């Protein structure tokens, strides 16, 4: 029996209104069930557009996205999202934030309570369930946001630069925690970041994207045993390689623009 992959992106592309350059050229890739995939690249490389399409929040101009064998037409349906700024509901306590998706899906109260407790324990926030988001630090807010996604028991977890607003230390701690949580729950993950070492550390597969126009320029398979250590020299080498590749792309793009400028000057 061949099970459909978690995600299948088929020639999805996007050009935004009032912009002549495509945000994303036709792009295809697959994410296997339980696989951790990162989309990495500089701003404007289309990685967030790509994630938005997978989430069902942005419609591709052409091409298609399939999740768990079904075409993506909207958000939800086995996919949960963690946003960069946590996007917690400020008027709800942490527990109620985590409970929100279960309420929206009509899960009975007793089961809700149990699942919220589990999710909060998973991100180590058992003690702050009664607090409001403004009482938490940035790192704790992002933990709560991860719990709010995990409580849905998603088969696919989408994360849009979840740690980029945090200080370096908190970021390191949280990416360690994310590795642990992923090993315990094993959803397929699509992780968007501009942090190369973070991507290499967490991922089975890293898609390197470049801007102007956005596209995948290289794919890295990272076959290292887990749990991993961010200080692993292999990861540092990988980071160098990715960085070189990105530099070359940026130089290329700059060269092309310079050529265009020369031509139009004549």
Partner 1 sequence: MSTATGGGERGASRVARGAGAVALGLLRKSWFVILIIAVWWVVSATGVVDPYKLPAPGDVLSTLGTLFTERALLEDLGATLLRLVEGWAIGVVAGVLLGLLTGGSTFLEDGIRPVIAGLQAVPTIAFLPLAILWFGFNGTAVLAITAFGTFKPMALATYGAMHQISPTLLMAGRALGAKGLFMQRTLIFPAILPSLVTGLKMGWSFAWRALMAAEIVVTGAAGLGGVLELGREIGAIDVVMAVILVILVVGIVTEQLFFTRLERWVNRRWGLVGAR
Cα 162 to Cα 258: distance, rounded to the nearest angstrom = 35
Judged by CB under 8 A, does residue 130 bind partner 1?
no
Q: Which of 103, 109, 240, 247 binds partner 1 (CB under 8 A)?
A: 103
Decide whether 92 or 250 has the Cβ nearer to partner 1.
Answer: 92
Calpha distance 102→119 (Å, rounded): 12
220 Cα distance to chain centroid: 16
Please state whether the peptide bond connecting residue 59 to the residue before it is cis, i.e. omega within 30 degrees of 0. Answer: no
| Cβ at position 121, least distance to partner 1 in Å | 20
Q: Residue 87 interacts with partner 1 (CB under 8 A)? A: yes
Q: Is residue 10 a contact partner of residue 58, using CB atoms and an 8 Å limit?
A: no
Instruction: Candidates 61-69, 96-104, 219-227, 242-250: pick the segment binding partner 1 (CB under 8 A).
Output: 96-104
Q: Which is nearer to partner 1, 85 or 232 (CB)?
A: 85
Residues 8-67 that bind partner 1 (CB under 8 A): 55-57
- The answer to whether 36 touches 203, Cβ cutoff 8 Å, is yes
Residue placing its CB nearer to partner 1 in the complex, 100 or 201? 100
Q: Which residues contact 243 (CB under 8 A, 6 or more apart)?
A: 196
- Our finding on whether 108 is near partner 1 (CB under 8 A) is no
Residue 81 or residue 116: which is nearer to partner 1 going by CB?
81
d(CA 115, CA 201): 29
**Region of 62-70, 72-80, 111-119, 176-184 interacting with partner 1 (CB under 8 A):** 72-80
Q: What is the Cα–Cα distance from 70 to 15, expressed in whole angstroms?
A: 24
Q: How many of the chain's residues bind partner 1 (CB under 8 A)?
A: 27
User: Site for partner 1 (CB under 8 A): which residue of 140, 152, 189, 192?
Assistant: 152
Near partner 1 by CB under 8 A: residue from 10, 117, 132, 228 = 132
Is 253 exposed, middle or buried (CB count within 10 Å of its CB: 0-12, 13-18, 19+)?
Answer: middle
Structural tokens at position 256: 């092309």
Nearer to partner 1, 102 or 208 (CB): 102
Q: What is the C-alpha R_g of the chain?
A: 19
Token pair for 147:
């719990």
Out of 101, 129, 187, 212, the only residue in the binding site for partner 1 (CB under 8 A) is 101
The one segment of 19-27, 101-109, 121-129, 244-252 that binds partner 1 by CB under 8 A? 101-109
ω before 227 within 30° of 0 (cis)? yes
Q: Which CB atom, from 37 or from 81, has the smaller least distance to partner 1?
A: 81
Site of interaction with partner 1 (CB under 8 A): 55-57, 74-76, 79-81, 83, 85, 87, 89-92, 100-101, 103-105, 132-135, 148, 152
């Amino acid at each position: 029996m061949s099970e459909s992959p978690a995600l299948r992106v088929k020639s999805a592309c996007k050009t935004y209104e009032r912009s002549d350059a495509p945000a994303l050229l036709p792009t295809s890739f697959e994410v296997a069930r339980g696989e951790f995939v990162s989309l990495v690249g500089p701003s404007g490389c289309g990685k967030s557009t790509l994630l938005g399409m997978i989430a069902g929040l942005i419609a591709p101009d052409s091409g298609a996205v399939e999740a768990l064998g079904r075409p993506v037409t909207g958000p939800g349906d086995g996919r949960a999202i963690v946003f960069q700024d946590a996007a917690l509901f400020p008027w709800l306590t942490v527990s109620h934030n985590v409970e929100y998706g279960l309420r929206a899906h009509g899960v009975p109260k007793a089961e809700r309570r149990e699942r919220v407790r589990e999710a909060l324990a998973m991100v180590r926030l058992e003690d702050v369930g009664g607090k409001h988001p403004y009482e938490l630090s940035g790192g704790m807010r992002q933990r709560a946001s991860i719990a709010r996604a995990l409580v849905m028991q998603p088969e696919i977890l989408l994360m849009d630069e979840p740690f980029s607003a945090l200080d370096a230390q908190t970021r390191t701690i949280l990416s360690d925690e994310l590795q642990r949580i992923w090993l315990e729950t094993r959803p397929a993950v699509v992780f968007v970041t501009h942090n190369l070492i973070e991507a290499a550390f967490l991922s089975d597969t890293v898609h390197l994207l470049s801007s102007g126009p956005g596209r995948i320029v290289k794919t890295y398979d990272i076959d290292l045993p887990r749990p991993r250590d961010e200080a692993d020299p292999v990861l540092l080498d990988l980071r160098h390689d990715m960085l070189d590749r990105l530099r070359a792309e940026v130089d290329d793009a700059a060269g092309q623009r310079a050529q265009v400028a020369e031509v139009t000057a004549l």
